[in-house]
Amino acid sequence: MVNSNKTVTLVSPPSRMMNHYRPPLALMYISGFLKHKGIKTKIVDSIMENQIIRDESFFLNKNNYFKDIEDQTVKQISEIDTDIIGITCYTPEVDEVERLAKRIKQVKPGAKIVTGGIHPTLYPDDLLGPNSDIDFVIFGEGEISLYELVRAIRSRKDINKLKGVGFYDDSAGKKVITERQLLDYELDSISCPDYEGVDMSYYTNASPYAIRGVFTRSMYLSASRGCPSSCTFCVAPELRDFNFASGIKKNAGVRLRTPKHLFDEVAFLKENYKIDSFYFIDDLFTLDKEMVSGFCELMIKSKMNLVWGCSSKVNTVNYNSLKLMKAAGCIQLDFGVEKASDEQMHLLKKGTKVREVKETFKNCHKLGVRAFANMLINTPGETEQDLRDTVNLLEEIKPNIVSINVFTPYPGTEIFADTRGLTREEYPLLMENPAKLAAERPDKFRFAKHNVDLAAFASREMKRHNKVYPNISIFFNPKYIQSLWHSQKKLNYTKQTNLLIQEFINQKF
């Protein structure tokens, strides 16, 4: 194979450094799979150790920070003996990724640039063209398709025969989008993240960001791919079509890792990187009862003294399942409550009821499991009464932590398709503050019927409902205390205490 000794470079866009201590997990999965296949890789993920707190000063100067990270990224790439460079891309990052690709071509003119991620998956031809610096796109899951593309490029084979790939054919003067890659493989077979490829000492620093509000040395894990929900504000229903096209019907097309494979990864992280906790980034970790119970039983049996959190849906857990999860070390569940009336939930196709929200939060409080409530405002047709309902519901269910988010219409969502949408030139606006966009560009970003100041409402109600004691009560949680007592990196908590204090002040004041 030609150039087999060269390195495949995998790159995070500079703006991803906004994510507090969150590793580039998607790139790590791809890198791990390629390495398993004998291909050399390098992950370029520039970090900012001196500006972790996202305070007012950070947001005023964020473009300067992004520029510094971009310069670092290009410099790193220029020093790598690489022939193929992959860049992951969300829709708001389109301009950023195109600019980065142009700069990379200047320092690596002979390298092929490949983009993947959600935007190329939803719009595979959007980044291609006769004048584009991007040579290929990968749509759908990237492991198999990128591996096959690397082999084809290096062996000079016909790209047209590959699946899950797009490119611009200069000779034909047209864009070529090949067939979808079938997901006919077990998730366990490609779930081997390249932890050695990133700075794990940085990413496992004690912080309150992974399990939100819990100060701990943590790592993010993925137990599944896909989401069964049909929420009109999310791209998951559109992405799920890839699973259906592969004939995957169980769990509404969601693919799961096995409990043992997941547990082994946790044990590996505990042994090698001394984590004290982990957080499942899955859209819905609690979807499959057998997988969850199997994993919990392994955790209970192991007595690893780790705590963890996950995202859940109120109608996928009950008192008994929550009790089992707690026994296995689960200390927090994040719920997408979103709305406070059945009518509004129905409009958003949430598939949940207010009574289920109340019952689940009651069970969490009864068991002493922290419950996080994500709420959504500025949705189509929202009234002042809907906002009052939100306040009343929060007062009743008393979440430990509340986040009130202002809706923004992302391409790929049902609401985006049903409304005025955005032009491609407007995609970078999605990087801006949603409340500010709704105020300054109501023609594109204001969906609520009322005239309430969205930013003021969100700020006021989050401060009102994020009370001090429910936030700090985690420090008295027996499972949490036990995890700290058994930690092999206690000094790291002392080193990071200043960060915790600064973040608390930033959030509260």
The model's pLDDT over 267-297, given as tens digits with 9 standing for 90+, comes to 999 999 999 999 999 999 999 999 999 999 9
Q: State pLDDT tens for residues 194-239.
A: 999 999 999 999 998 899 989 999 999 999 998 888 899 999 888 8
Phi, psi of 185 (to 5 degrees): -135, 155
Helix (H, G, I), strand (E, B) or coil at 308: strand
CB 404 within 8 Å of CB 470:
no
CB 193 within 8 Å of CB 25:
yes
Whole-model pTM: value is 0.93
- Contacts of residue 196, defined as CB under 8 A and 6 or more positions apart, other chains included, come to none
Phi, psi of 218 (to 5 degrees): -130, 170
Place of tokens 């100060």: 215
* Average pLDDT of every residue of the chain: 91
Q: What is the dihedral of CA 467, 469, 472, 474, to 10 degrees?
A: -110
Which two tokens mark 480? 């949490």
Q: Looking at residue 439, what is its pLDDT?
A: 95
pLDDT bucket at 52, cuts 50 / 70 / 90: low
Task: Report d(CA 67, CA 431) in Å as an integer.
Answer: 15
Q: Looking at residue 509, what is its pLDDT?
A: 46
Lowest mean pLDDT among 33-47, 179-193, 450-464: 179-193
Q: Looking at residue 324, what is its pLDDT?
A: 98
Lowest mean pLDDT among 404-418, 461-475, 480-494: 461-475
Rg, the chain, Cα only: 23
Q: Looking at residue 89, what is its pLDDT?
A: 95
| DSSP state at residue 382 | -
CB 118 within 8 Å of CB 136:
no
Cα–Cα separations (whole angstroms), residue 410 to 13, 91, 233 = 18, 8, 8
CB 508 within 8 Å of CB 213:
no
Helix (H, G, I), strand (E, B) or coil at 339: coil
Query: In 318-377, at which residue ranges do the beta strands (DSSP E only) sit?
Result: 330-338, 370-377
The answer on pLDDT for 507 being more than 80 is: no
Lowest mean pLDDT among 62-66, 398-402, 444-448: 62-66
Residue ranges of domains in the chain, CATH in brackets: 7-177 (3.40.50.280), 204-493 (3.80.30.20)
Q: State pLDDT tens for residues 395-404.
A: 999 999 999 9
CB 471 within 8 Å of CB 215:
no
Helix (H, G, I), strand (E, B) or coil at 419: coil
Mean pLDDT of the 372-376 span:
97
Q: Looking at residue 497, what is its pLDDT?
A: 86
CB 379 within 8 Å of CB 448:
yes
Helix (H, G, I), strand (E, B) or coil at 282: coil
- Contacts of residue 74, defined as CB under 8 A and 6 or more positions apart, other chains included, come to 100, 103, 104, 107
Cα–Cα separations (whole angstroms), residue 138 to 1, 82, 123 = 21, 19, 10
Place of tokens 């005023």: 60
Buried b (16+ CB within 10 A) or exposed e, 207-230: bbbbbbbbbbbbbbbbbbbbbbbe
